[in-house]
Structure 1
Amino acid sequence: MKTPYHPPIDSIPFTRVLHALSEPNRLKIIRCLHENIENNCTAYTIKLDLPKSTVSHHIKVLREAGLIQARIDGKEHYYSLRKEEVENRFPGLLSAVVNVKEEDL
């Protein structure tokens, strides 16, 4: 199984992060990861009521924007926030995202 690419946090432009966060379902994934620490793709498919292919696309965008990382265990991919790295690079960003009211998404 191919290891997912995780870009170095210092190479990520702020505009790429903002683009990744511009989609409401991706914001919901970030918020869920902030609460649950780690989840697999199936959890988001159920929670967001989206096809697995759509959830996989959203996760890829978030991963390539440097916001999340993947851990592979057998055939499962588990995702988690790169909290410390993102906070160091973009202070206050994650707290702003997770504090947005659900109805404002």
Structure 2
Amino acid sequence: MRQAHHPELGEITLTDVMAALGDPIRVGLVRVLADGRERGWGELLAPVAKSTLSHHLRVLRDAGLTRTRQEGTRCFVVLRREDLRTRFPGLLDAVLAAAETDDVGRQVGLKAAPHAAA
């Protein structure tokens, strides 16, 4: 399997980041990932087909918002919070605050963890 391309810090452009954030599903994914934890793609819950979710995750990665790691057949994604803060100070915090206020991306979340047997 080929390795995903991640833009270097200096290659991340404001227009690419803003274009990637122009979709409510992608804003929702950023909101979910804003806790700083790496998430398996299978943990993410969105009202779209798996292929469409994969497309949204690729758009975020290509814009420099996320980093994807593959481990065997599983893929994991994490928000590049520090890189974004370095490149565009305050932008991510402003986007997250506005998304929270306007409830953008609320339809995206995490799948419930299976309950342990008692």
TM-score, structure 1 as length reference? 0.89
Runs of 4+ displaced beyond 6 Å: none
Q: Which has the higher helix share?
A: 1
Please give the residue correspondences for 1:66-105 in structure 2 after superposition, counting only pairs within 5 Å.
66-99=64-97, 100-101=99-100, 103-105=102-104
**What is the percent sequence identity of the aligned residues?**
38
CA distance, structure 2, for counterparts of residue 16 and residue 103 of structure 1: 22
- Aligned CA RMSD, in angstroms, stands at 1.4
Deviation at 1:81, TM superposition (A): 0.8
Contact 2:66/2:80, CA 8 A, preserved across alignment: yes
Please give the residue correspondences for 1:1-105 in structure 2 after superposition, counting only pairs within 5 Å.
1-35=1-35, 37-44=37-44, 47-99=45-97, 100-101=99-100, 103-105=102-104
Deviation at 1:10, TM superposition (A): 0.6
Q: Which one has the largest radius of gyration?
A: 2
CA distance, structure 2, for counterparts of residue 25 and residue 102 of structure 1: 16
Which segments of 5 or more consecutive residues in structure 1 lack a partner in the other structure? none
Say which SS state the counterpart of residue 32 (structure 2) adopts: helix
Deviation at 1:11, TM superposition (A): 1.3
1:30-59 Cα distance to aligned partner (Å, 9 max, x none): 010112511122222xx2121110000000
Which segments of 5 or more consecutive residues in structure 2 lack a partner in the other structure? 105-118
Q: Name which structure has the greater RCO, CA cutoff 8 Å, separation 6+.
A: 2
TM-score, structure 2 as length reference? 0.80
Residue of structure 1 equivalent to 2:112: none
Mark the CA change 1:88 to 1:36 in structure 2 (over 3 Å): closer, same or farther: closer
